[in-house]
Structure 1
Amino acid sequence: MEATFDVAALVGHHYRADDYYEVGREKIREYARAVQDFHPAHWSEDAADGLEYAGLVAPTTFVSIPAMLANRKLFETVITGYDVYVQTDQVFEMYKPVVTGDRLVSDVELASVRRIAGNDLLTIKNTFTDQSGEVVQVMYTTVAGITGESVAAGISDAIERVVMHGIEVPARTTAAATDTQIATNPTTNPSLSEVSRTRVPHTAIRFEDLTVGDELPPRITQLTRGDLVNYAGVAGDANPIHWHDDVATLTGLPDVIAHGMLTMGLGAGFVTGWLGDPGALTRYGVRLSNYTVIDARSVGSVEFTGRIKSLDPETKTAVIVIVAKSAGRKVFGLATANVRLA
């Protein structure tokens, strides 16, 4: 069933988050633990200093935390009228490493709307600037807004019964009430930082030692329901399809599933752990093709493999193709990482 309003008319809607997000030392550690990323630069100031960072370095997907806070207004008051949102694509563009003490401000924009297979695909752009006024990361999130028969009746009531107090459950209404908000908080055009493109990378892998087709050492990560609950709390993702059986069933899922962003975080750590320098990753893009089911009575797993797709000797950069599988199913439809090498 189609949405009862013209969401395409909202393309271009933008605003700046009301407050900055200050990156905390312990929050970096909490998030690194949640995505099972044990690179020392996320945990030890000495290790981070050895790579010439001013503090602990945030994992690649860390900015999804301030993005979720900044985007809440968009989903609660602007893009309403859908029963469920399903994440489909994610892109991170890194211009400057995020470190302890950074104060990130997010500009939020509904960048595009496409209609495919009866669903609206909405792309939200988050542009993060730090206290110097430079853009440190740009994040694109694409979700499918779903309405109709594929979603069981009463799901909003079911969610409201189990989510933490104070979390809004978006009502299925029209977007007409948001017309006066289209011009809220005009944003500036801050400059993109060049740090991630000009900084000398301290990778454990040298460009000269790689050839196209080389494979990364595979990695298998294990996930339990406890890991999902922990990630939900650390990242601020209150969606109960990641921890509540009944709600997952009402949305048509076979069981509770891992967060797409959690799986992406695991994949990013797979790459940066091989690199040896988290700041050497400049772009990370993932298209989700399936989900990782986590049964309450057993441990789930995700297997990551990767290979070098292309090499550029002029810039000493590489593109890596990443494959993630769970229970024999490909979780990533297409995933690539652009990296700089020593």
Structure 2
Amino acid sequence: MSETLSDVTELVGHRYRADDHYEVGREKIREYARAVQDFHPVHWSEDAARELGYTGLVTPTTFLSTAAMLANRKLFETVVVGYDVFVQTDQVFELYKPVCTGDRLISDVEISAARRIAGKDQLTVTNTFVDLTGDVVQIMHTTIIGVTAEEADGGIGGAIDGVIMNGVDSPSPGSAAGLFPTAPLVDSSPHLSGESRNRVPRTTIRFADIAAGMELPARTARITRGDLVNYAGVAGDVNPIHWHNGVAALAGLPDVIAHGMLTMGLGAGFVTAWAGDPGALLRYGVRLSNYTIVESDTAGEVEFSGRIKSVDPETGTAVVIIIAKSAGRKIFGLATAEIRLG
């Protein structure tokens, strides 16, 4: 990859459709829910899910990031090349339809934005997930910065090659075991169903009982090295900065750090646990400003708090500002969740 801005911007608009679908598995939902410490009953019990009107177990908010890794791998192996490490900066989830056990989803993959900031290349990859009827289920926008070995420690490439398991290429946000074959994007545009937006939510928090400025009950999550290894395996994120001290040091980090997507998953669960119905979440966006350090002998902690920024009586929705801190540092620069309450 050339390091000039013109070359980076030429990537904008590159897109394809994954040729195979991703089938949502019941046990995969439970594995992922455990990995992000989300114990809402709809992720675990089919009876609890049916009580809230779902056809099966419901995926946690950030679940489809695992499917996006599979769909994006070809992009990072053949198009976005020449980088040794990627740093995630922003993530947005737009939710249009609940994702449940047995759903079969196909991802359209597109480089939707690219620019050069402070001498580094920043790219936004958009995954549009559609079901087999053509309805848009979820849209994800992932913004990353590519870092070369020269910009980090020159030995990081070799260090990564020495610790990555056999059969897996150097890590990137698109790295995961397995590979979706790809085909040209079809001409027929998928359509927004808006099911999540039209569905009557079954939240324990009622819209009539909230107001702007109300604070959410705080929550503290603990993350150990074991949690990081478990998340890496469940999510397919093989980047060794999340479990290997040496590679983390070469990347300029003080120690092993938690996955950005793991902390986002914890933050989403913080909001949906308060609301009482995970399917009521309409949009979730996070800008990462710092990281959670996880030392080998002590757990890292993330303290979540939140307040209602605004309410909309016409739609019955509220926007929640989420604050996440670790060791006194804000790890979310800006994080908001739009949720529809009953």
Question: TM-score higher than 0.5 here?
Answer: yes
CA-to-partner distance for each residue in 1:282-308, whole Å, 9 max, x for gaps? 000000000000000111100000000
For the 8 Å contact 1:201–1:341, the answer to whether it is kept is yes
Q: Which letter maps to 1:236? A: G
Partner Cα separation in structure 1 for residue 133 and residue 39 of structure 2: 29
For the 8 Å contact 1:3–1:82, the answer to whether it is kept is no
The TM-score with structure 2 as length reference comes to 0.94
Report deviation, 1:317: 0.4
Q: Would you say 1:231 and 2:231 are equivalent positions?
A: yes
For the 8 Å contact 2:84–2:170, the answer to whether it is kept is no
Report deviation, 1:2: 7.2
Aligned to 1:177: none
CA-to-partner distance for each residue in 1:17-53, whole Å, 9 max, x for gaps? 1311100000000000000000000000000000000
Partner Cα separation in structure 2 for residue 150 and residue 297 of structure 1: 30
Aligned to 1:100: 101
**Count of aligned pairs:** 331
Partner Cα separation in structure 1 for residue 150 and residue 166 of structure 2: 28
CA-to-partner distance for each residue in 1:61-83, whole Å, 9 max, x for gaps? 00001000011111111011223
Partner Cα separation in structure 1 for residue 19 and residue 58 of structure 2: 25
Partner Cα separation in structure 2 for residue 319 and residue 40 of structure 1: 24
For the 8 Å contact 1:213–1:307, the answer to whether it is kept is yes
For the 8 Å contact 2:288–2:332, the answer to whether it is kept is yes
Report deviation, 1:184: 6.0
Structure 1: gaps of 5 or more residues? 172-182
Structure 2: gaps of 5 or more residues? 173-181
Partner Cα separation in structure 2 for residue 184 and residue 30 of structure 1: 30
Q: Which letter maps to 1:137? A: Q
CA-to-partner distance for each residue in 1:161-190, whole Å, 9 max, x for gaps? 11111111279xxxxxxxxxxx96033311
For the 8 Å contact 1:285–1:337, the answer to whether it is kept is yes
In structure 2, the residue corresponding to 1:320 is in which secondary structure? strand
Aligned to 1:29: 30
In structure 2, the residue corresponding to 1:74 is in which secondary structure? helix
Partner Cα separation in structure 2 for residue 129 and residue 184 of structure 1: 15
Partner Cα separation in structure 2 for residue 155 and residue 3 of structure 1: 18
For the 8 Å contact 1:3–1:147, the answer to whether it is kept is no
The TM-score with structure 1 as length reference comes to 0.94
Report deviation, 1:149: 4.3
Q: Provide closer, same or farther for how the CA distance between residues 2 and 9 of structure 1 changes in structure 2, counting only shifts above 3 A.
A: closer
Q: Provide closer, same or farther for how the CA distance between residues 221 and 48 of structure 1 changes in structure 2, counting only shifts above 3 A.
A: same
Partner Cα separation in structure 2 for residue 226 and residue 116 of structure 1: 35
Partner Cα separation in structure 2 for residue 201 and residue 109 of structure 1: 32
Report deviation, 1:116: 1.6
Report deviation, 1:148: 5.8
Partner Cα separation in structure 2 for residue 55 and residue 170 of structure 1: 33
Superposition CA RMSD, Å: 1.6
